[in-house]
Structure formats: C-alpha cells, structure tokens
C-alpha cells in the first residue's frame, strides 16, 4: 500500500509552472528522496503534501487523507523537519521537546527522544547555547515528537559535521526499520544514495525519473572511469588497445569505458606480464551524483 500517491500534480505562480504534472508514489515504510536543483519544485511539492500549500490540479492522497482538507487528524500523523526553524531561545531542549510532544495524541517519551537524536548531554541546555548542528538535532527531535507514521525531512543534515551526519543517517535508517515512511529532500547526493530506497529527480517542475539509486545508475548508461599512472619507462603507445581512447588526466591516464571488465583485464594482464605496477589504479563506477548531474544538466565543462 502507498503512504503517498500523487497524480498529475500542478501548481503555478503567475506565469511560472512550478510543478508541472508530477506523478509518483511512496510505499509504506519506504525512504523516498526528492532531488533537484533550486527552483525545481521540491519545496512546493512537499508543502502541498504537508497540507500547507494549495494545488491547482491533480490528486494527492497521503496516509489516506487529502492534505488540503485532512485537518488535525492528518497533521497528528505526520512529522515535519524544516530546513530551518525558529526556536524560543530561553527554553531548554527538554522543555521544548516536552511541549511539542504534548500537542499529539500519540507521542514519544521526550527524554528517550532526546537521547535518540544525540542531545543527552544538552537536555537542560538553553536553545541559545546550542551549536548549529545541535539545533538541527533538536529540529529532528521536534519532528519526531508525535511518533509520526510519515516524516518529512527537508535538508536534515545541513550544518552537520561528518560524524553528526553519519549519526543522523543511522537514526533515519533506524526509523525506516521501525516502519516510518520518510520523504527526504537533500542536496547531498551521498546522503540520498545512502538512505533512499528510491529517488525522484526533478527539473523545472517536472519529474524526470524515479527508481532505486542502482536502477538509475544502470539506466543512465554512464561510463565507468578507470584511472592510473604509467610505470616509469613506458609511454601511452606501449599499452594494449582499449575499447575506447585513453586520455591524459592530472598526472596519469583516464579511461571512460562501458566495457569495464575486458578493459581492466587487458590493463592488469599487461602490467602482470611485465611485472610492473599501475600506480593509483582505480575503477570508479558512475555514482548517483553523476546520474543527477547528467539529468539536470548541471555538469560543468571540467567534468
């Protein structure tokens, strides 16, 4: 069963079609990442799903509700973590989480929630004393206060250091394991690849493609990149023929290939036969970021 079902969703601002006939679904317990450059329509779609913005056309069902008319019964079942939120600076972490939890008929234990998001040593600290990363953890705690069936996460790890980001990723994975459905927006493509069961890529209000990160990489038909340095005393012409042309790159050579196994075998067999080492040898398959950049035409000339 789908937690979110969107069909032919449209929203315009004057002459600008911010969302143009978007259709997608999110299954129960799934993490779905909505990706796209600024202005692609992500925020408008999410706000329509949350019930905070009207749509011009199309149908939307979330948890069996139309968000536009679901009211308090609908909002009691969702959690929202905004990209930035305002807090009353004089409250402590524990006071804010307790106040938020009290608004819901079903709720997490505030102290357990504070521990869950990694703020145990800050539970009695005032908000004004928190760092940017700690405030984002508080955002997450407040979004989870009502034990939501569906959690909207808007750029959840903005401002996090690498350690805090990985902690947040573990937390999101744990929520998914508990059956929480999550709609994620993020500009960190590594984050989407790590967390999302499926992703959807938006550009100029249109949904270009949806699928698992692996399926999108396969469908993109982007090449695998092989890089290495030639051994001393050898030149490019000494290497065996490859399926495509080898090119200089940085202080070595670069091969963009769709015949990864045969080309890697030729190179390694050539090196083994001469008892030499191909320094800095690396085989890099296309990433979700490569696919995203190709789809949204953000790739620069240097890539």
pLDDT tens by residue, the chain, 303 residues: 799 999 999 999 999 999 999 999 999 999 999 999 988 999 999 999 999 999 999 999 999 999 999 999 999 999 998 876 677 788 999 999 999 999 999 988 999 999 988 899 999 999 999 888 888 888 889 999 999 999 999 888 877 778 888 888 888 888 888 889 999 999 889 999 999 999 999 999 999 999 999 999 888 889 999 999 999 999 999 999 999 999 998 889 999 999 999 999 999 999 999 999 999 999 999 999 999 998 887 544 333
Of 218, 237, 269, which residue is a domain's last?
218
Cα 171 to Cα 177: distance, rounded to the nearest angstrom:
10
* CB 228 within 8 Å of CB 252: yes
Position 63 in a domain: yes
Both 160 and 60 in a single domain? yes
Position 22 in a domain: yes
CATH of the domain at 158: 3.40.50.300
Both 199 and 145 in a single domain? yes
Number of domains in the chain: 2
What predicted TM-score, i.e. pTM, was given to this entire model?
0.84
Both 233 and 281 in a single domain? yes
Cα 246 to Cα 226: distance, rounded to the nearest angstrom:
9
Both 86 and 193 in a single domain? yes
Position 261 in a domain: yes
Of 172, 187, 218, which residue is a domain's last?
218
Q: Give the pLDDT confidence score for residue 158 in this predicted structure.
A: 75
Tokens of 286: 């296309």
Both 52 and 124 in a single domain? yes
Both 194 and 230 in a single domain? no
Both 76 and 205 in a single domain? yes
| Residue in the block written with tokens 């469908």 | 219
Q: Which domain holds residue 19?
A: 2-218
Position 298 in a domain: no
Both 211 and 248 in a single domain? no
Both 66 and 126 in a single domain? yes
Tokens of 190: 């590594």
Q: Give the pLDDT confidence score for residue 157 in this predicted structure.
A: 82
Q: Give the pLDDT confidence score for residue 82 in this predicted structure.
A: 81
Both 55 and 187 in a single domain? yes
Cα 22 to Cα 7: distance, rounded to the nearest angstrom:
6
Position 296 in a domain: no
Both 42 and 89 in a single domain? yes
């Amino acid at each position: 069963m789908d937690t979110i079902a969107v069909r032919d969703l449209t929203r315009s601002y004057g002459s600008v079609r911010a969302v143009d006939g978007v259709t997608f679904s999110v299954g129960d317990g799934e993490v779905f990442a909505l990706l796209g450059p600024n202005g692609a329509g992500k925020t408008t779609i999410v706000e329509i799903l949350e019930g905070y913005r009207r749509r011009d056309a199309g149908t939307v069902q979330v948890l069996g509700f139309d968000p536009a008319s679901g009211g308090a019964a609908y909002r009691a079942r969702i959690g929202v973590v905004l990209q930035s939120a305002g807090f009353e600076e004089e409250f402590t972490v524990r006071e804010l989480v307790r106040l938020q939890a009290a608004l819901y008929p079903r709720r997490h234990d505030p102290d357990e929630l504070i521990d869950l998001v990694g703020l145990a040593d800050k539970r009695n600290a005032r908000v004004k004393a928190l760092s940017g990363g700690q405030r984002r953890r508080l955002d997450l705690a407040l979004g989870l206060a009502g034990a939501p069936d569906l959690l909207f996460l808007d750029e959840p790890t903005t401002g996090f250091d690498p350690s805090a980001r990985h902690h947040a990723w573990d937390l999101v994975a744990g929520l998914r394991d508990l059956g929480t459905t999550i709609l994620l927006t993020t500009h960190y493509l590594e984050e989407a690849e790590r967390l999302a069961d499926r992703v959807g890529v938006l550009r100029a209000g249109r949904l270009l493609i949806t699928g698992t990160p692996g399926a999108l990489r396969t469908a993109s038909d982007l090449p695998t990149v092989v890089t290495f340095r030639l051994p001393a005393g050898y030149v490019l012409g000494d290497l065996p023929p490859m399926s495509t042309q080898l090119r200089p790159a940085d202080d070595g050579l670069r091969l963009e290939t769709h015949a990864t196994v045969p080309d890697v075998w030729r190179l390694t067999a050539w090196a083994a036969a001469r008892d030499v080492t191909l320094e800095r040898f690396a085989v890099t398959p296309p990433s979700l970021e490569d696919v995203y950049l190709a789809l949204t035409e953000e790739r620069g000339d240097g890539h």
